[in-house]
Each structure stands twice: as structure tokens, then as C-alpha cells.
Structure 1
Amino acid sequence: MTAPTHTRHAPVAPAHRDPNVLRWLGAYTTSVTGDVIYFTALTWAVAEAAGPAQGRARARRGRRATRPPSCSAAVCSPTGSDRAGSSSAATSCAV
């Protein structure tokens, strides 16, 4: 007689119960959380060191202002010089 070709193996635990997977998941979660905290603190420290003027200048870079900062959208209207091809963006404000 020949020996059986198949042998019984212990059942494999599902991945969500495997201790190695759970260890890796815990380490990965801790690592990503630490990265988020680090970059949040770094951003806050740079903003504190630069002051409010630098933060505002960086946020507005690249945008073309169409209204003076003191105007609200409801009361500003473009003047005749704000037509296509004009290099200035003049507005008139009714206060």
C-alpha cells in the first residue's frame, strides 16, 4: 500500500485575526498618525514664525484680484477699463 498523498494541515487563521497582520496594522496606524501630528505641528510652527502677513501673502499668490479688498461683491461693478484686452482691472465701489 502507498501512503496517502494528502495530509491535513492546521486551519489557517483569517488575515484579520493573524497576530502578525494585527501587529503590522497597529505599527502602520501609529506611523501615519505620527506623520500627521508632525506635519501639523511643523505647519503651525512655520505660520507662527512667519506671522500673519506671510500667511496671507502665500494664500493670495497666483490669483488676480478683480476687486479692491474693501469692496464686497454686491456693491462692486467693473468700470469701462476692465474690458477684454485691458491690462488693468479697475473697479468702482458704491459705498
Structure 2
Amino acid sequence: VQGLHVDLVHGKDDVAELHNRLPADWLLSAGLINGRNVWRADLTEKYAQIKDLVGKRELWVASSCSLLHSPIDLSVETRLDAEVKS
């Protein structure tokens, strides 16, 4: 194992605690961007969640889940649920 990905959108993980418990040579993939609604993200807020870890370990910013079913362009998605499209 070389790293760990965590869902920081739906999970209640404490990023600092994860950093402290993971081996120093493991990367941490931070699932900060909601993979179910990638168009809505307060990047300032997301950065605040991880700013204390920047430079302390290999850190990836990622989506909370797979983007396999994410539409490429919302304008052509006519049957999406309103909550997803909002």
C-alpha cells in the first residue's frame, strides 16, 4: 500500500488525525470535491480543510467518488434530477 483515498465530502474524517496516523511515506488522496456535483465547490473552503498538510506529505486533491457517470456538459443533460443539476 502506498497511500489512502478518503471521501471528505460525505465522510467525517479528521484530516489532521489521518495525517498523524498514516505512515509518513504514504500519500493522502483527499476527496474534497463532491463527485456527484463537481460544478459546485467553494475552493477557498476546500483549501482550508487541507492547508495545514500542504508541504508535509504527498497530497492529492481528488473527487470524493468516481466521475464515471458525471456529465461532461450540463446543458445537454435534460433528464438529471434537479438536486444533482443545481
Query: Whose strand proportion is higher, 1 or 2?
Result: 2
The normalised TM-score by structure 2 is 0.20
- Say which structure, 1 or 2, has more relative contact order (CA 8 Å, 6+ apart): 2
The normalised TM-score by structure 1 is 0.19
Query: Whose helix proportion is higher, 1 or 2?
Result: 1
